[in-house]
């Protein structure tokens, strides 16, 4: 399987810079997601990889070899589009065989291979159906089979699940990941859905304004976002403005309440953004002040039931905070009741504002 390397990629459309000096490495057999909001350039990067766009500057290398000048129909990369890409006049089987057919593969060999990949996506019984007879999820699975049929070196997916229902999305993404890791095929996956990217990727590259903000494993990015954009893009976070009081404390929020973050490493007096993950905000109905460290109090304003977790909004002296609480505990928290609040230092992070 091949490794992919992008160096100093740049692409402008008229006056707009879609991609700006981008570097990216995808190791052999890895699934790397390009994650970012609309307009961040992720789809452009993918299309440059596929050969549908030419970069203004920079190189694309496959296994070390520069492929900028290789036309799109010779790159041997399978691509799954967002929607509507199955050929409507052909059955699922004929769609899947297409890549082999244009390569001149013999009929019997094509047929066997098509059956093989259709079984991989568990649609061998639907092989003779036409696209309009298949559901959205089924169509995307056929599209995946078609992309894999000619055994490409790289698999490219452009928001393949965006057009699907939420439940189907979860099923299909797991299927994609299972097939990808079973075949060990180098994959680049574009999405704007953070949960999707995090659940299936080996590495995630967060993009904004045409550049990679951070690249790392999902856990790394979640725990240690390198800048404010990434921190706020990934998951939910409480953000406070503050000033460093001393080497263990930061005065944060409108009232300058002290938050204990031992050994944070920032110089005293520095202006910082304090980021606190909701799961690091602990609620204590035992309103004994000073029981465990911080001695913050607050009043519950709203509950948002999210299933296993309930997101609780609390008014504290630090300002309004969101806390993620196991729903069973949340049941016992009455609105407007005073509670004790503790911030776990492990779930906080200081950043340049």
Q: What does the binding site for another protein look like in residue numbers (CB under 8 A)?
A: 11, 50-56, 71-74, 76-79, 81-89, 98-99, 101-103, 131-132, 143, 146-147, 150
Phi-psi map region of 214: left, alpha, beta (phi>0 left; psi -120 to 50 alpha) = beta
Q: Which is nearer to another protein, 148 or 296 (CB)?
A: 148
271 touches 251 (CB < 8 A): no
CA 308 to chain centre: 22
CA 259 to chain centre: 31
- Shortest Cβ distance from residue 72 to another protein (Å)? 5
Q: Which is nearer to another protein, 36 or 99 (CB)?
A: 99
- Shortest Cβ distance from residue 41 to another protein (Å)? 15
- Shortest Cβ distance from residue 159 to another protein (Å)? 12
Q: Which is nearer to another protein, 86 or 281 (CB)?
A: 86
Which residues on adjacent β-strands are paired with residue 348?
Answer: 276
Q: Which is nearer to another protein, 86 or 261 (CB)?
A: 86
CA-based nearest residue to 246, from 267, 276, 215: 267
Tally of CB atoms within 10 A around 333: 17
Q: Which residues, in sequence order, are CB contacts of 148 under 8 Å at separation 6+?
A: 78, 117, 120, 155, 179, 183, 185
Q: Which is nearer to another protein, 49 or 283 (CB)?
A: 49
Distance CA 235, CA 220 (A): 13
CA-based nearest residue to 145, from 113, 169, 177: 113
- Shortest Cβ distance from residue 156 to another protein (Å)? 8
- Shortest Cβ distance from residue 321 to another protein (Å)? 44
Distance CA 78, CA 244 (A): 51
- Shortest Cβ distance from residue 88 to another protein (Å)? 3
Q: Which is nearer to another protein, 18 or 330 (CB)?
A: 18
């Amino acid at each position: 399987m091949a490794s992919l390397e992008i160096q100093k990629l740049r692409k402008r459309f008229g006056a707009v810079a879609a991609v700006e000096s981008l570097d990216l490495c995808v190791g052999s057999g890895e699934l790397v997601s390009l994650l970012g909001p609309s307009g961040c350039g992720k789809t452009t990067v993918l299309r440059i990889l596929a050969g549908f766009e030419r970069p203004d500057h920079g190189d694309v290398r496959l296994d070390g070899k520069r492929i900028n000048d290789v036309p799109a129909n010779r790159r041997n990369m399978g691509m799954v589009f967002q929607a509507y890409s199955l050929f409507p006049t052909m059955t699922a089987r004929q769609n899947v065989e297409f890549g082999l057919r244009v390569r001149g593969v013999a009929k019997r060999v094509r047929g066997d291979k098509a059956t093989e990949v259709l079984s991989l996506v568990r649609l061998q019984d639907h092989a003779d159906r036409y696209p309009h007879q298949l559901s959205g999820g089924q169509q995307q699975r056929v599209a995946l089979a078609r992309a894999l049929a000619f055994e490409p070196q790289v698999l490219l997916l452009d928001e393949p699940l965006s057009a699907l229902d939420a439940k189907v999305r979860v099923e299909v993404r797991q299927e994609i990941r299972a097939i990808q890791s079973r075949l060990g095929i180098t994959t680049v996956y574009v999405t704007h859905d953070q949960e999707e990217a995090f659940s299936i990727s080996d590495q995630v590259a967060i993009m904004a304004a045409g550049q990679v903000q951070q690249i790392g494993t999902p856990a790394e990015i979640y725990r240690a976002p390198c800048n404010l954009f990434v921190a706020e893009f990934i998951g939910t976070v409480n953000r406070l403005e503050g000033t460093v009081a001393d080497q263990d404390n930061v005065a944060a929020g409108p009232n300058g309440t002290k938050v204990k973050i031992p050994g944070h490493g920032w110089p005293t007096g520095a202006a910082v953004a304090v980021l606190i993950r909701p799961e690091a905000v602990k609620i204590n109905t035992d309103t004994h002040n000073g029981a465990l460290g911080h001695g913050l109090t607050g009043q519950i304003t709203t509950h948002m039931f999210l299933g296993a977790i309930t997101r609780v909004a609390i008014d504290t002296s630090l300002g309004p905070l969101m806390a993620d609480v196991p729903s069973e505990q949340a049941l016992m928290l009455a609105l407007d009741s005073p509670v004790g609040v503790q911030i776990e230092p492990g779930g906080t992070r200081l950043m340049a504002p």
